[in-house]
Structure 1
Amino acid sequence: MRDNEWLLENLRVESSVFHIGKYCGSWQGSTAGQGKSSYHIVMDGDCWLHAEHDPEPIALNRGDMVFIFQDCPFVLSNHREKDAALRAPGKKMQPLHFHDRSSTALVCGFFTFHSVISHMILSFLPHKIIIRKREDEFEAVRKITEVIHHEAAKEEMCSHKLISSLAEALLFIGIRQYLHQHPPAAALETAKNMPEFLNLIATILLFPAREWTIPKMADAMAMSRSWFIQRFSQVSAVPPAEMVCQLRMSLACRYIEQGKTLQQTAEMVGYQSIAAFNRAFRRIIGVTPGKYRGR
């Protein structure tokens, strides 16, 4: 089984519907501040996504969807200019049958991720993934969104459970596409081959800046130092310190993609020296952080 498929097989997620309806006139809407990952599907019309990490607004059209994995500030709005979007009123949604040619119909909801592996997957994902209806390879997406549109149009009679399940299917497609294009291979292979060390790996990914010495990793596993080294060497092709470095550099790639400075990225993954961080990054990733940013 390929790494991506292994991850998806172990992804445990539960979705829910937050609201279904239309925004009209000048408006803004957001689920930020809820402490959850969210999804937003444009059923009709169009709008603009203004997110904290993006220097420019992103256009979303009918059939497009965005998955936001981190609870970062963002708004959806009919306004392209960010200032206008932030000034727009947060209106109550109108029902889907409400007639207004300039309206935007949305289905929005939340994802809750369960299991250690699910949170590991989240650590490798960007803050958002966008799927475009117009992309030829996503014929399945078009069909799924059409079913969601058909079900949502029933309004009071619609099944939130069905819509939630279909949203989960779209999430799987989006994550699979992203991991196919951005495979964090070394770190995923480490996790795949070491199921008994998953909790340790997840903790390292959650707190990469900690000083992960062998004694501290052994303590996290409730093992003696000698038994930890012996057991680790039996299941891993790399030593513990190398595994930590691989995991840190996989996270560093994500932080750089999010627009963090090299200094910020280095500190976030446990390096006080930019020179040491640059050497580790180049050894693991194959290029310097600066060249990686310029890709």
Structure 2
Amino acid sequence: MSSDTDRLAHWLVSGLELDTTVFHVGQYCGPWRASTAGRERASFHLVLRGESWLHLEGQAPIRLQAREGVFLLRDIPHSLMPAAEAGPDFQPCPMLPMSPPVAGACGLACGFFQFRGLLGELLRGAFPDHVLIRAGSGALHAVAPLFDLILAEAARDEAGASPLIERLTELLFFYVIRDVALRNDVASGLLAVARRPEFATLLDDLLRAPGKPWSIDDMARVACMSRASFCRHFVEASGQPPARFLLQVRMKIAARRLQCGDSVLRAAEHVGYNSQAAFTRAFKKVIGEQPGAFQRARRPGAPSFAH
């Protein structure tokens, strides 16, 4: 881990604005299914007691035990269940209060979170669709007491969820952000450029007007640098030439719009492409999928939160 990456991770944590809402806290026993998919919001599921199986579309079920969980940075089809597979006559059971504990039950804290400001948008574009919290992860061993505190608040005998659960969940997520930033080379690309004051105005302009016919000279002018100096410092900051960086920004923005329901043509026009064929080639080069296939695969298809 380099000192630059470590500083970036701390910069990210200190500057992120996050709003968290607890959707429900309780325990399940018997057959049950839970999902926050289809709400067009980032969400989380924390296993406070017992165990659960996380089902993500196109992936094998993932077992989650106590002090483990998942943060879903995008609205993707998913569900949590008590087993790797549901029986043929599956009939979900209702959620019970967290206290008193029921033998064999799974205690969950679930909710939504929302990023505010430019930094939140950068994080959403740079991070994966979902991030798992693993109890055995050495990098995240410090979060175990947070699970215990959330469980203690959830077990209090009072009406409604404790507001401290939201604050504790935010703190837990900040630990996760730092861990992902350190191990996934987030120091390159968007976040690395964002932390350089000389590029802050340029980055803001690129995000606000990705469809503008940006040239290298245009970007250098916004950064108040000569072309040669701009290219040298930009590559130093991001590890890639400005043109390639601009392409990535445009395709990440286009991907976001496709997920939100824009047609391929509208998404292409928004990021400056009049040719759908040229946009398709650029999108596949950066994202790794054809835009139509990308949109179909991420169209919300799981049921809303059900007990």
Category of TM-score, reference length = shorter chain: 0.7 to 0.9
Does 1:24 find its partner at 2:41? no
Does 1:80 find its partner at 2:84? yes
Give the partner amino acid of 2:166. S
Q: How many Å separate the matches in 1 of 2:162 and 2:132? A: 22
Q: Which residue of 1 aligns with 2:46?
A: 41
- Relative to structure 1, is the Cα distance of residues 90 and 71 closer, same or farther in structure 2, using a 3 angstrom cutoff? farther
Give the partner amino acid of 2:47. V
- TM-score, length-scaled by structure 2: 0.70
Task: Report % sequence identity.
Answer: 28
- Relative to structure 1, is the Cα distance of residues 172 and 88 closer, same or farther in structure 2, using a 3 angstrom cutoff? farther
Counterpart contact for 2:22–2:161, Cα < 8 Å: no
In structure 2, list runs of 5 or more residues that go unmatched. Answer: 235-240, 257-267, 289-307
Cα deviation for residue 96 of structure 1 reads: 1.3
- Relative to structure 1, is the Cα distance of residues 85 and 248 closer, same or farther in structure 2, using a 3 angstrom cutoff? farther
- Relative to structure 1, is the Cα distance of residues 56 and 203 closer, same or farther in structure 2, using a 3 angstrom cutoff? farther
Q: How many Å separate the matches in 1 of 2:169 and 2:187? A: 27
Alignment of 1:1-295 (within 5 A): 2-52=7-57, 54-81=58-85, 84=86, 88-156=90-158, 160-187=162-189, 188-193=191-196, 194-203=199-208, 213-214=213-214, 229-232=220-223, 234=225, 236=230, 237-238=233-234, 240-245=242-247, 247=249, 272-273=280-281, 277=285
Aligned residues: 250
Q: How many Å separate the matches in 2 of 1:185 and 1:86? A: 47
Q: How many Å separate the matches in 2 of 1:122 and 1:87? A: 38
Counterpart contact for 2:140–2:179, Cα < 8 Å: no
Q: How many Å separate the matches in 1 of 2:161 and 2:61? A: 32
Counterpart contact for 1:17–1:160, Cα < 8 Å: no
Cα deviation for residue 90 of structure 1 reads: 4.0
Cα deviation for residue 31 of structure 1 reads: 1.1
In structure 1, list runs of 5 or more residues that go unmatched. Answer: 218-224, 256-266, 282-295
Q: How many Å separate the matches in 1 of 2:90 and 2:18? A: 33
Please give the root-mean-square deviation of Cα atoms over the aligned residues, in Å: 3.5
Cα deviation for residue 135 of structure 1 reads: 2.5
Q: How many Å separate the matches in 1 of 2:54 and 2:159? A: 30
Using CA pairs under 8 Å that are at least 6 residues apart, name the structure with larger relative contact order, 1 or 2. Answer: 2
Counterpart contact for 1:119–1:202, Cα < 8 Å: no
Q: How many Å separate the matches in 1 of 2:72 and 2:89? A: 22
More moved, 103-112 vs 128-137: 128-137
- Relative to structure 1, is the Cα distance of residues 99 and 13 closer, same or farther in structure 2, using a 3 angstrom cutoff? closer
Q: How many Å separate the matches in 1 of 2:187 and 2:140? A: 24
- Relative to structure 1, is the Cα distance of residues 133 and 244 closer, same or farther in structure 2, using a 3 angstrom cutoff? same
Cα deviation for residue 272 of structure 1 reads: 3.9
